[in-house]
Amino acid sequence: MAQRVAVSDVAGGSKRTSRVRVAVRLRPYMEKQDEKAEGACVRGLGPQSLEIINWRNSTETLQYQFDVFYGEQTTQQEVFLTSVKPILPHILNGQNASVFAYGPTGAGKTHTMLGTQEQPGVIPRAVREVFQLVRAQEKAGDDWDYTIGMSYLEIYNEKVLDLLSPSTQDLPIREDKDRNIFIPGLTHTTLSSFSDFHTHFIPASLNRTTASTKLNHRSSRSHAILLIKVEKSQRVPPHRQQTGKLYLVDLAGSEDNRRTGNQGLRLKESGAINLSLFTLSKVVDSLNLGVGRVPYRDSKLTRLLQDSLGGSAHSIMITNIAPEQKYYFDTFSALNFAAKSKLIVNKPFVRETVSSNESGKRARQEPASEAATEPQ
Ligand code: ADP
Ligand code: MG
C-alpha cells in the first residue's frame, strides 16, 4: 500500500522563479564510519528518488522525491554541470544566485563545495567558469568592462566575520535604497585570474579549518560563505552599471545537537540550535510553498542572502546525506526538509552488509509497484 504523506510542489507559474531547487546527494558508504558494519540504510531509486527504512515500522520504507537525486557514484563534474553551471550566466546579467550545501557533519558538504585537488568541487569549478564566461564576453567585444571580485566570510553564533581579514569583529548587514544587501567594512578583493582566486581563497579556507579544531568543532557549527561578484560597466553612454552576485555556501551541520548517536533526544547544555540554519529551512519552505511571509530577517544568514535567495535569484540547495546507520535520524530530518514529496510504502528494506569497495553494488529488490505507478 502506498500512502501519500505530503506534497508541497505547488510552486508553478509566476512563482517558479522564486523556487529553490533541491538536490540530494548520497555519499558512498564508508566502512570506517560504521563500526557495526550494518550496511547502508538509504538507497537510490531513480534520478529523483530514494528510499530509507521507516524506523517506526521496519516492514515499510519511506520513499522521497526531489528535483534531483545524485547517487553515490555521481562525480563532482556531474554535480557541477547539472546543478551549478546552468545558473552562472545570470551573474553576468546583473542577477544573483546562490548554491548551498546542507546536511549533517560528515555527509559530504565540504567535499561537494570545495572537494580535493584530485576531485575539485563546486567552488573551484564555478569560479573558473565565471572567469571563462567573462573572458568570452570580452573577446566577443561587447560594450562592457567587467570586474570580478571576492569576499569570504563566516557566520558563527550569529556573528558575521571576515575570513579575508580575520582580526575584524562582528560586521553589520545593511540594505541600500535599491534593496541590495551589503556588508560595510567587508574585505572585497578584485581578482585578475583564476590563479589569483586560489592565492586568496586557499589560505583563508585553511585558516578556517585549522582554527576550527581548537574551537569546539567550529567549522561544523558555522556557515562559510564565499561571495563572487561580477561588476560590469558600460563603456559608452548611457554608462549603465550592473552587479551580479554568486554566493557559494558550506552550511553548518544540520545534525540536532541535542541528540547523541541514535539514542533519541537527549538535551545537552551546549546544544543550541543554529538559528541561521533553522531560519534558512523556514525561508526555503515558504519560498517553495509560495505562501506566507518569508522570514529573511529572522537570522543573519538569511538576511545576508535576502537578495540572492528567492525572488528573481537562482538558487540551489544540495542536501548531502550519508548511508550509514549512525546518521539515520539526521538523514531522516535532512530528507524531510529537502523532500518535494514522501510516500510510505509497505515493503521491507532488505539490508545488505557491505564492505566499502562493494558499496556501489546494490541489493536488487522488486520495485514497489504502487509507488512507481502513482502519479506524481
Ligand atoms: P561535511 O563537510 O558535510 O562534514 P565532508 O565533506 O568533510 O563532510 O565529508 C566527510 C568525508 O566523506 C570526507 O572524508 C570526504 O572526503 C568523504 N566524502 C564525502 N562525500 C564524498 C563523495 N561524494 N565521494 C567520496 N568521498 C566523499
Ligand atoms: Mg565540512
Could you identify the atom of ligand 1 that is nearest to the CA of residue 74? 23
Which residues, in sequence order, are CB contacts of 256 under 8 Å at separation 6+? 265, 271, 273, 329, 330, 333
Select from 222, 248, 235, 253 the least CA-distant residue to 330.
Answer: 253
Select from 315, 319, 299 the least CA-distant residue to 307.
Answer: 315
Residue to mutate, 72, 105, 111, ligand 1, most ligand atoms under 8 Å from C-beta: 111
Nearest CA to ligand 1 atom 17: 108
Select from 127, 85, 110, 100 the least CA-distant residue to 27.
Answer: 110
- Output the ligand 1 site: residues, CB below 6 A: 27-28, 103, 105-111, 320
Q: Omega before 184 cis (within 30°)?
A: no
Lowest model confidence (mean pLDDT) among 104-108, 138-142, 356-360: 356-360
Of all ligands present, the nearest one to the C-alpha of 76 is: 1
Rounded to the nearest angstrom, the distance between the alpha carbon of 162 and the centre of ligand 2 is 18
DSSP string, 31-80: GGG-TT----SEEEEETTEEEEE-TT-TTEEEEEE-SEEE-TT--HHHHI
Helix or strand (DSSP H, E) at 161: strand 159-162
Could you identify the atom of ligand 1 that is nearest to the CA of residue 25? 23
**Per-residue pLDDT tens over the stretch 283-337:** 999 999 887 899 999 999 999 999 999 889 999 999 999 999 989 999 999 999 8
Would you say the pTM of this structure is higher than 0.90? no
Integer Cα distance of 122 and 79 in angstroms: 8
For residue 174, name the pLDDT band (cuts at 50, 70, 90).
very high
pLDDT at 238 over 90: yes
Which pLDDT value is given to residue 308? 95
pLDDT at 25 over 60: yes
Interface ipTM above 0.85? yes
- C-alpha distance from residue 267 to each of 37, 270, 300 (Å): 28, 9, 25
Nearest CA to ligand 1 atom 10: 106
Of all ligands present, the nearest one to the C-alpha of 321 is: 1
Rounded to the nearest angstrom, the distance between the alpha carbon of 211 and the centre of ligand 2 is 13
Integer Cα distance of 309 and 292 in angstroms: 16
Which pLDDT value is given to residue 142? 86
The x, y and z cell numbers of residue 56, run together, are: 517506526
Rounded to the nearest angstrom, the distance between the alpha carbon of 80 and the centre of ligand 2 is 18
Could you identify the atom of ligand 1 that is nearest to the CA of residue 320? 3
Rounded to the nearest angstrom, the distance between the alpha carbon of 106 and the centre of ligand 1 is 6
Which pLDDT value is given to residue 96? 97
Could you identify the atom of ligand 1 that is nearest to the CA of residue 116? 16
pLDDT at 362 over 50: no
Integer Cα distance of 15 and 13 in angstroms: 5
Rounded to the nearest angstrom, the distance between the alpha carbon of 322 and the centre of ligand 1 is 9
Which pLDDT value is given to residue 256? 73
